[in-house]
A and B are shown apart, each in its own frame.
Chain A
Amino acid sequence: MVKKITKLLFIFTASFPVLFFLNTGFSTDLLWKTFQTIVFSVLFSLSLVWPVLKKYFLILSGLLLIFMAVFFISGQSGWAEIFGSSGFGLVLLLLISYVPQLIKKGYIEHI
């Protein structure tokens, strides 16, 4: 367990600056983007350390996209943007975490 937590912390420490740069260019002007980056880094690290969680994160990303639609229809386009971009960002990161499987098998056997 300690090994896994160490791995988790290591991946988080390594991925956060990269994702923060790609997401905001190190700008902290928009707080939600900073928070979003933290969420991305945490979930990405978790999905690499405990691959079993990927499935739930994928469901979460689907839910976020559905929330996006709901909020957009109800006129909350700002929230729709936050949910939509978070959902899509998560899909993107999960897809990256599946790359080894994609290269090996050509598809994702176990989600």
Chain B
Amino acid sequence: MTTRKHIFAALVFALLSTVLIFSWFRYGHLYGGGDVGIPSYDPQRIVEIAKFVWWDSSAPGALVPHGVTSLPVQFFQSMLVQAGLPYFVVQATLFWILLFLTGYGMFLVGLSVFGKDKLLLAILCGLFYVLNPYMMIQVWHRFIHNSFFLAAFLPFFYLFWDDWIKRGKFISILFFLLANIFGVYLYGTIAFAVTIVFVLSFIFLRHVFIPWQGFKFFKEITFRFISGLILWFLIHLWWILPTFSITPALFSSQHRTFDSVSTLITLSRQTGIPYVLSGVNPFYLFEQADFGGIYKHPVFLAIMFLPLVFLLPGFIAAIRSKKLAGWGILLVMAVFLAKGAASPFGFTYIFALTKVFVLGVLRNPFEKMGILLPFSSAIIMTAGFKWYLDRFHDKQVKSFKILLGALLFLQLGIFLWPLWSGRLIGKFDKLALVEVPKYYREADIFIKEQKKEGKILHLPLPLGESASYNWPYALSGIESSQLLFNSLPSISRGFNIDHVDDIISAASNIFREKVADEKIIAILQSLNVRFIVLHKDIRWQGGFLDNPLKLEEILDSKRFLEKKELLGSLIVYEMSERYFKPRIYNTSYVNFLSRGERNSFWPFLLFQNNIDLISPVNPADWSIDTVQTLILPTKSWTFHPKDIAFEKAILELPAASKILPGSRLYFLIKLKEDIRILKSLGMDKLKLKLDFLGKRLVEAIRLKEKGKTPEASINVYRKLLVEVFYTDNLKDQLDFIGGRGFVNDLFAKHLIILDTLEGVKGVKDELLMALRKSELIPMYDVVSDKNTEDLEYTTYHFQVPSNDEYELLMAEEGVRNVYADKLEKFEFQIDGEKKQLRGEFTDGFISYGKVKLDAGKKEFTLVATPSANLFDYPAESGIEVSSSDKKNSFFEAKIEPLTSNTWYTIKFEAWIKSGDKFRLQFISDGNVEYEKFFTRDDQNGWNKYRESILFNKPVAADAKVRFLVDKADSAVIFRNIKIERLLNNPIFLRSLSFPQSAIESVPGVEFTQYSPVYYSGKIELERGGFVIFSEAFHKDWQLKLHSNGKTLVPKERFLANMYANAWFVPAGDYTFELEFTPQKTLYWGMLISGITACAVVIFYLGKIKKWLKK
């Protein structure tokens, strides 16, 4: 192969990349949004952020260890920016290079496979790899940048690794490692490391077994494989070390095996063989129709399967050829891996995922392993093309060539029209173009010029990770304020981490008219907020964000905020100096807070200025003086005691078979059940066990009816009960098996049946004990004079630290007016004992006075009292709603008071006079949140209805219930309408009786921030106190105190203000260092990787020297 031919091929792929890039970037804007945000916007800023494993720019701080893999590419992009190129040209340049590498790399693979003289076949190979539906949809349209790099570098990895394994040439492993360094960004999606290791192992195994060449050869290439893999591992150690030393805990909490399997099964519905063989993701192509409806047209569907014309003969030709057999096998494996749990043999994947936790990273196999489809099919299709050429070479050459050309034109041209026409990224009619308005940079410069420490709070503040803007070319996807503002860290989104989201939720919700200034100040202080940036250009509609105009009114009215600058659609406010709290400060003035499971209302506890809330990571260790003790419920739940008839209970449990215990054939029933349990997985197994528990009870009843003893069934029931509650931990799986209500109803039936069985003493008690221990029913029976059938109860469990008197408080006092006696008299059941307590409105709460409690677990139960009717209308008066045949008709009832996480009950009577149905809707801010149809039953006349609706939108201006009659000449009369709010306000305990020796804190901390992971300074404390660091809590933040040549590292960790870090420091003068220790693993990794790289190069140079000497 001459150099000229290589240049020709390079020019072909350069031309192809140039045409595509000009088509994509002809609008002159960046592409962005979705999962990646705007990675080509200000790459210098990204380099600054990504070189640390802790990102303080995403305030209040986030752990992103694998972000370091983006460093080389961002460094390259930042060089282009420094050269004066606009951001969109930088992005276009990067995409051009990647496209070129994708095609040219595959061309080189093609040459190695088909022979160095097969220029056109190799070029075709490259074209098939660049131009196919998988590349169009799953790589470029999906817009995951790691995938771009995987697609571009995979051919090079293959080429060099194959040569290393085959020939053992050191230059090949050197190039392989070099390609890995350049393409390291692909490992930003950790699952792609599995894809790469799979390819490397496949190449090795192919050379070992296809064909087997004896043990000597096996030993030789095994050595190359292992040594190559070790070098690959060492060269990547700089990002592997921090990622895997910190991330496993993150993985286990965020992605449980059950979730992974559920995701796999759901996604595998989209990866049936028809889609995988065509490389098409039906979600984007058909369901979302991102490229328009044309792809559903039969002609396009036919083109979708055209690759089979080349694939089928190509596959046969491949497996019959020594050179290509491996590629045929790789294609089959690629299809098998990419289809996930889809048929055939889909259970293999599910089984593997449940047994090997790490495989959870492949729960979206089409995305993670799918690149192997175009990679292997590019070779097989070229083989198919060659097969046609060989077969028809001499016959009807012209018409045959035209036919082949037409097929390629349809497949690579017409079908991929969005790729050619630049309608690829985003939707075909609404591209994901982004142009950040200039006023963002102006606002950032303004804040930078203030030269002040602190953080920026962006409002409205999304609780999730995404936001959308109203810019002409708007960003819609991951919230990117951390890139748009490099002056100070940005608090601008949620993180899907419980304790951080609590404070984000608090900051998002505090700007309400009714919230006292001191509470707002306390939260802003605890978040180290210096500036507030109000985004009037955000898309806030939908009920999850505040209206920016309303926010502006509220912010304008705050005395502690100064409106500094109006820049475009942004308003910058600054916190007054006297209210600002630095990122690191000391305090000896704290409230002990025993955290609960529900912390979303916690900001209301921060009602005292300059008092921090401290929660020990291990509450048992607490021995520090505090001003107050605040105890939140460790668990709370609402339940509805049900009185079920025995006959109904029996009917609703699984029926028993005719073969009962005692029968010789009963072992078959057990065998069948055991097999069912054995083959079921995860939650299905638990559900089956619950079914079998019910079945045992029904069997016991049947035995009793036949005059036999039910002991055999009951003994099995007993064993299974222990398994379900204590081995399988039923209480932790409630959400996956139907919820608390379902489980309570189920065991209510069990209890009724157990009551009727004689001679099974103790079983009912065992069940009750298990239910209580699992916190499914209260520890103490509900004592009530009223008819419990209609009432629901809420039970709260508290962990009380010491024998004392505690004040009982209830939050959300604003709703008290709609309850009897304004909640001033309320009955609580405390550890089974009823107490009528008087409530007083104090500090924004209803205080029910002091109760004496012993240390330990305490239970409070109260009736989830229905409010007065929120619908103000004479009950008996009917409201007739009639619709014509052209128009709907309805009437509405407003919901007031409206609170989040609240159950509303709607009871009414209705008579469908004409027509056959009506609708009930729950509407909030104009959006229908809940809807139910009611149809006419056989009985005419009045019918009673009851609906319970949980309203859980965090932000809503108004809500109403709508009774709607559809257009069809219908008429419905409604009467006795009752809309009630069920009382489930949070309650908590407060104690003032701990020693109040605390005093006003004297500021004693001076510090300098050297990087996001390292601070140092001085601490001077006259008395022992807490040092609070307002960054998100992480166990690896380490405080080192130096005094008189000694170093003290406080081991005990505390959570400050529910999300931040705190340490208790004894009195004294110290210099201190505060460090995020996992950053060191990055440096160690870099050192080892660097040494490896140097060693490989030196070794290679040594070889060259030897060769020169020779």
Which residues does chain B contribute within 8 Å of A25, judged by CB atoms? Answer: 347, 350-351, 679, 681
Residue picked from A36, A65, A66, A88, most chain B C-beta under 10 Å: A88
> Contact at A106–B347, with CB atoms within 8 Å?
no
Q: Which residues of A contact B348 (CB under 8 A)?
A: 22
Within 8 A of A (CB), among B189-222: 209-212
The 6 closest A-B pairs by CB, nearest first: A84-B273, A89-B344, A106-B211, A69-B305, A85-B343, A25-B347
Instruction: Name the interface residues of B276-335: CB closer than 8 Å to any CB of A.
Output: 277, 298, 301-302, 305, 308, 312, 315-316, 319-322, 324-325, 328-329, 332, 335
A56 surroundings in chain B (CB, below 8 A):
none
Residues of chain B within 8 A of A27, CB atoms compared:
347, 679
Contact of B210 among A62, A65, A73, A106 (CB under 8 A): A106
**What would 23 A/B residue contacts be, using CB atoms closer than 8 Å?**
A22-B348, A23-B345, A25-B350, A26-B675, A36-B343, A58-B316, A69-B302, A69-B308, A73-B305, A77-B274, A81-B274, A84-B274, A85-B343, A87-B273, A89-B345, A92-B332, A92-B345, A95-B329, A103-B211, A105-B211, A107-B325, A108-B320, A108-B325
Q: How far does the alpha carbon of A24 sit from the alpha carbon of B348 in the complex, in Å?
A: 9
The distance from the CB of B905 to the nearest CB of chain A, in whole angstroms, is 38
Say whether A88 contacts B319, CB under 8 Å: no
Near A by CB (< 8 A), chain B positions 323-374 give 324-325, 328-329, 332, 335-336, 342-348, 350-351
A53-96, CB < 8 A from B: 58, 62, 65-66, 68-69, 72-74, 77, 80-81, 84-89, 91-92, 95
Which of A21, A86, A98, A103 makes the CB contact (< 8 A) with B344?
Answer: A86
Residues in B lying within 8 Å of A, measured CB to CB = 209-212, 272-274, 277, 298, 301-302, 305, 308, 312, 315-316, 319-322, 324-325, 328-329, 332, 335-336, 342-348, 350-351, 675, 679, 681
A59 to chain B, nearest CB (A): 10
The residue that A95 contacts in the complex, of B302, B322, B332, B346, with Cβ under 8 A, is B332
Q: Write the nearest CB–CB distance from B823 to chain A, whole angstroms.
A: 52
Known: A25-B679, A102-B211, A106-B211; 10 extra A-B contacts, CB below 8 A, are A23-B343, A25-B350, A58-B316, A66-B308, A84-B273, A85-B273, A91-B315, A92-B345, A95-B328, A95-B332
A84–B346 CB distance below 8 A: no
User: Known: A84-B273, A107-B319. Is A22-B347 also a contact (CB below 8 A)?
Assistant: yes
Residues of B within 8 A of A74 (CB): 298
Q: CB-CB < 8 A to A86: which residues of B? A: 344
Quote the shortest CB–CB distance from A6 to chain B (angstroms): 27
Q: Which residue of B lies closest to A92 (CB)?
A: B332
Please indicate the chain B residues that have their CB under 8 angstroms from the CB of A92 in the complex.
332, 336, 344-345
> Are B347's CB and A24's CB within 8 A?
yes
Least CB distance from A75 to B in Å reads 8
Q: Nearest Cβ distance between residue B113 and chain A, in whole angstroms?
A: 14
A5 contact set on B, CB distance < 8 A = none
Q: Nearest-CB distance from B278 to chain A (Å)? A: 9
Residues from chain A with a CB closer than 8 A to the CB of B675 are: 26
A22-35 interface code vs B (CB 8 A; 1 in, 0 out)? 11111100000100
Shortest CB-to-CB span from B742 to chain A, Å, is 22
Let me know if A111 is at the binding interface, CB within 8 A. yes
CA distance in complex: A89, B335 (Å): 11
Residues of A within 8 A of B329 (CB): 95, 102
Task: Determine whether the beta carbon of B335 is less than 8 Å from that of A23.
Answer: no
Residues of B within 8 A of A103 (CB): 209-212
Task: Across the interface, name the chain A residue whose C-beta is closest to B273.
Answer: A84
How far is B305's CA from A68's CA once the two chains are assembled, in angstroms?
9
**Complex interface: chain A residues within 8 A of B302 (CB):** 69, 73
A contact face: mostly helix, strand, loop, or mixed: helix
Task: Give which listed residue, A58, A85, A95, contacts B272 with CB less than 8 A.
Answer: A85
Tell whether, in the assembled complex, residue B277 and residue A88 are in contact, meaning their CB atoms are under 8 Å apart: yes
A80 to B212 CA separation, bound complex (whole angstroms): 38
- Name, among B212, B277, B343, the residue most crowded by chain A CB atoms within 10 Å (CB to CB): B343
Shortest CB distance B801–A (Å): 49
Q: Which of A68, A89, A98, A104 touches B274 (beta carbons < 8 Å)? A: A68
Q: Is the beta-carbon distance between A65 and B308 smaller than 8 angstroms?
A: yes
Q: Which residues of B sit under 8 angstroms from A104, Cβ to Cβ?
A: 211-212
Interface of chain B: mostly helix, strand, loop or mixed: helix
Closest B residue to A87 by beta carbon equals: B273
Q: Is the CB of A68 within 8 A of B332?
A: no
Chain B residues closer than 8 Å to A88, beta-carbon distance: 273, 277, 335, 344
Q: Which of B298, B322, B335 contacts A106 (CB 8 A)?
A: B322
Nearest chain-B residue to A102 (Cβ)? B210
Number of interface residues of A (CB under 8 A): 42
Which residue from chain B places its CB closest to the CB of A71 in the assembled complex?
B274
Closest chain B residue, CB of each to CB of A85: B343
Residues of A within 8 A of B336 (CB): 92
CB distance from A94 to the nearest CB of B (A): 10
Q: Which of B324, B328, B344 contacts A36 (CB 8 A)?
A: B344
Contact B325 A91, beta carbon cutoff 8 Å: no
Chain B residues whose CB sits within 8 angstroms of the CB of A72 once the complex forms: 274, 301, 305
CA–CA, A104 and B344, complex, Å: 28
- Chain B residues with CB under 8 A of A105: 211, 322
Are A33 and B679 closer than 8 Å at their CB atoms? no
Residue of A nearest to B328 (CB): A95
Which chain B residues border A102 with CB–CB below 8 Å?
A: 209-211, 319, 325, 329
Q: Provided the pairs A23-B345, A72-B274, A88-B273 are in contact, do residues A106 and B325 lie with their beta carbons within 8 angstroms?
A: yes
A26 near B679 with CB under 8 A, answer yes
Tell me the complex Cα distance, A48–B1004, Å: 83
C-alpha spacing A109/B312, complex, angstroms: 17
CA distance A16 to B173 in the complex (A): 44
B298: A residues at CB distance < 8 A: 73-74
Which of A36, A40, A80, A111 touches B320 (beta carbons < 8 Å)? A111
Closest CB of chain B to A16's CB: distance in Å? 13
Q: B347 contacts A21, CB within 8 Å?
A: yes
A82 nearest CB across to chain B (Å): 8
Cβ B332 vs Cβ A23 within 8 A: no
Task: Name the one of A62, A81, A109, A111 contacting B343, with C-beta atoms under 8 angstroms.
Answer: A81
Residues of B within 8 A of A107 (CB): 210, 319-322, 324-325
Of the candidates A36, A98, A104, A108, the one having the most CB atoms from chain B within 10 angstroms of its own CB is A108
Q: Which chain A residues border B343 with CB–CB below 8 Å?
A: 23, 33, 36, 81, 85, 89
A85 pairs with B344, CB closer than 8 A? yes
Q: Which residue of A lies closest to B324 (CB)?
A: A107
**Measured between C-beta atoms, what is the minimum distance from A104 to chain B in Å?**
6
Closest chain A residue to B301 by CB distance? A73
A102 CB to closest chain B CB (Å) equals 5
Distance of A40 from chain B, by nearest CB (Å): 7
- Which chain B residues border A77 with CB–CB below 8 Å? 272, 274
Q: Is the CB of B319 within 8 A of A69?
A: no
Cβ–Cβ contact A62 & B325, under 8 A: no
B345 touches A22 (CB 8 A): yes
Q: Which of B312, B351, B681 has the most CB of A within 10 A?
A: B312
- The chain B residue with its CB closest to the CB of A21 is B347
> Are the C-beta atoms of B211 and A80 separated by less than 8 Å?
no
- A87 to B320: give the CA distance in the assembly, Å: 19
* In the bound complex, CA of A31 to CA of B343 (Å): 13
A81 to B346, CA, bound (A): 13
Enumerate chain B residues within 8 angstroms of A89, measured Cβ to Cβ: 343-345
Q: How far is the CA of A58 from the CA of B312 in the complex (A)?
A: 10
Q: Is the CB–CB distance between A23 and B273 below 8 Å?
A: no
Chain B residue with Cβ nearest A90? B344
Are A62 and B346 CB-contacts (below 8 A) given A88-B335, A95-B329? Answer: no
- Which of chain B's residues has its CB closest to A58's CB? B316
**Chain B residues with CB below 8 A from A95, complex form:** 319, 328-329, 332
Point out the residues of chain A lying under 8 angstroms from B328, CB to CB.
Answer: 95
Which chain B residues lie closer than 8 Å to A68 at the CB level?
Answer: 273-274, 277
Q: Which A residues are in CB contact (< 8 Å) with B681?
A: 25
Bound: A104/B212 CA distance, A: 6
**A58 CA to B320 CA in the complex, in Å?**
13
Tell which of B312, B335, B679 touches A62, judged by Cβ atoms closer than 8 Å.
Answer: B312
Q: Nearest-CB distance from B674 to chain A (Å)?
A: 12
